[in-house]
Structure 1
Amino acid sequence: MRRAVRSLVIGVVAAALAAPALARAPHRILSMNLCADLLLLQLAPRARIVSVSHLAHEGAQTLFPGRDAGIAINHGAAEDIVNLKPDLILVGDTSTPMTRALARRVGARVVEVKSANSLAEARAIILRLGDDIAERPRAASLVARFDLTLAALAARPAQRRPRVIAWSGGAFVPGAGSLIDDIIAKAGADNLAARPGGAGSAFDVEALIAARPDALLYGAERSGPPSLHNAQSQHRLVRRLYARRSIAYNDVAATCGLPQSADAARDLRAALDRLPTRSLTP
């Protein structure tokens, strides 16, 4: 009898402790950041999402078409917070004092979704947001698939290690400490922009030709399939050298820390394996 009573007491206490946590589970989530949008759409049931940012549709169209259909959009304005009355607001790395003040006014909590600079950080961000919105099991499921994808890559080392640059006609070139740099490394390639003296800066045609990468990587348009027309450079020598050595990657998955970021590494490995083996000649 005592054991039964003790078990009952423990059960009641456990339920009492769990109740506040359940009460705090957000049911009206508003996202004001693209990367947060794309995570939220994968983690939370539609009924708990009151709004995503106006940027969400293009990213969703690339990753999971239609998942954002019917969800209100916001432009990060004060009226969006006041009118939609969320109980949780997702923002990027920085949130303005106005956002926090309005959140207090409507009784909402503000959660900052950090930027991912590596696949390990992406993994942690997914789990953390799962906790923040009371969807840990769903987050754990997505991370399990993420881990399996990367484990499969690690179990099959690349036969060669091509030298690449994520280059779009001299625009900013991501170097060491960026998510795309880690994706490149996991795919089994060497990011030339991560070497000393070349990281995170403009890379003109002359510098590109001098570096002689085995392939050029460029972010595909979010609203359409990868195409060589996405590449900004039209220099005749670049076109001739890299006509068959230009690889499109999903710029959303390579910019935001998402479950699909692991897929980006897998897909890049497959594309790198298809590169011609002949040497580059000007």
Structure 2
Amino acid sequence: MAPVLLGLLLGACGREDVGTEVAIPAKPMRIMSTNMCTDLLLLMLVPRDRIASVTFLAHDAVEVIMPGADRGVAINHGTAEEVVAQQPDLILASPWSTPVMRQLAASTGAPLVEIDSAASFADIRRVTRQMGDLVGEPARAEALVAEMDRKLADLAANPPAQIRRVVVWEGDGNLTGSGTLTDEIIRAAGANNIAGNFPAARHATYSMEELLQARPDAILQGESRFNPPSLRESAGDHRLIRTAFKGRRITYPAALHACGLPQAADAARQLRAEIARVPSGPAPW
């Protein structure tokens, strides 16, 4: 590591005033995002020439949600060197950002704002408006929220003729229950999330045998390009699951469920369309 950068890091870690608040420009022109979810929302809110960088994870999610939106935008890996080199006038981070990142931001005079994750459509409205205010684009943020609400209202006004029972099952036995964005998306789609009926549990577990016994009309499985192949995915593609749920497995873009984005309403619309194609009647086993 270069001596100057090492000095900056040591100085940042030893400063007593690292908690000092730094003024945020009314319209930041060099915005650095260090979290995939803020990457995506940032790309929706501001033109690319005002973005210093987004994370290396952004591209695959962008290609699913808004292809080409990150073209020409630099990437970062959330390192101290990149903060120094890119000299951002606003850093967007998650509540889990490393202490060194926060300390270095304070040392270099770059304001760092932690953006909460979203577990509901109400959270999406709040986070989108917060980001819009931070980057100087409140009107754009309101437009995104209004479009999301229009789509949700349309879904609510035209419920499906039949409420289908579904469950998110990835192969590792973990279920996504109430209090999650995925549960809200399933409900907005007009379906019944089996795990959402469990008592006060965001996440529960289900073995393959319990899954078959529950006889959901369909199982949902997140699809992510940025995660490497895993044993969990192999279990989710077990021969028994393929056979029992033939025509009843629905994949969805994981980023739309993991990140609180206005496009979560699109995820609900897509899910309703996919569920409508599931064969009627109980699963044939």
* Band of TM-score, shorter chain: 0.7 to 0.9
Going from structure 1 to structure 2, the CA distance change for 1:271 and 1:70 (only over 3 Å counts) comes to same
Stretch moving more, 106-115 or 233-242: 233-242
For 1:235, the equivalent position in structure 2 comes to 238
Deviation of 1:203 after TM superposition, in Å, equals 2.0
Cα offsets for 1:73-125 (capped at 9, x unmatched): 11111111111110100001233322222112222111111111112211221
Cα offsets for 1:157-207 (capped at 9, x unmatched): 121111111111134321111110110011111111122267513322111
Structure 2 residue 265 is the aligned partner of structure 1 residue 262: yes
Report how many residues are paired. 256
For 1:36, the equivalent position in structure 2 comes to 38
Could you list the runs of 5+ residues in structure 1 that have no partner in the other structure? 1-20, 224-229
C-alpha distance in structure 1 between counterparts of 2:58 and 2:74, whole Å: 10
Helix, strand or coil for the counterpart of 1:252? helix
For 1:139, the equivalent position in structure 2 comes to 141
Going from structure 1 to structure 2, the CA distance change for 1:231 and 1:176 (only over 3 Å counts) comes to farther
Question: Is contact 1:163–1:191 with CA below 8 Å preserved after alignment?
Answer: yes
Going from structure 1 to structure 2, the CA distance change for 1:22 and 1:179 (only over 3 Å counts) comes to closer
Deviation of 1:23 after TM superposition, in Å, equals 5.0
Deviation of 1:232 after TM superposition, in Å, equals 4.6
Cα offsets for 1:12-51 (capped at 9, x unmatched): xxxxxxxxx9953211100000000000011011111001
For 2:92, the equivalent position in structure 1 comes to 90
Question: Is contact 1:165–1:193 with CA below 8 Å preserved after alignment?
Answer: yes
Question: Is contact 2:43–2:70 with CA below 8 Å preserved after alignment?
Answer: yes
* Letter matched to residue 275 of structure 1: V
Structure 2 residue 248 is the aligned partner of structure 1 residue 245: yes
* Letter matched to residue 166 of structure 2: V
Identity of aligned residues (%): 45
Larger radius of gyration: 1
* Superposition RMSD in Å: 1.9
C-alpha distance in structure 1 between counterparts of 2:25 and 2:182, whole Å: 39
Q: How does 1:108-187 map to 2 (within 5 A)?
A: 108-187=110-189
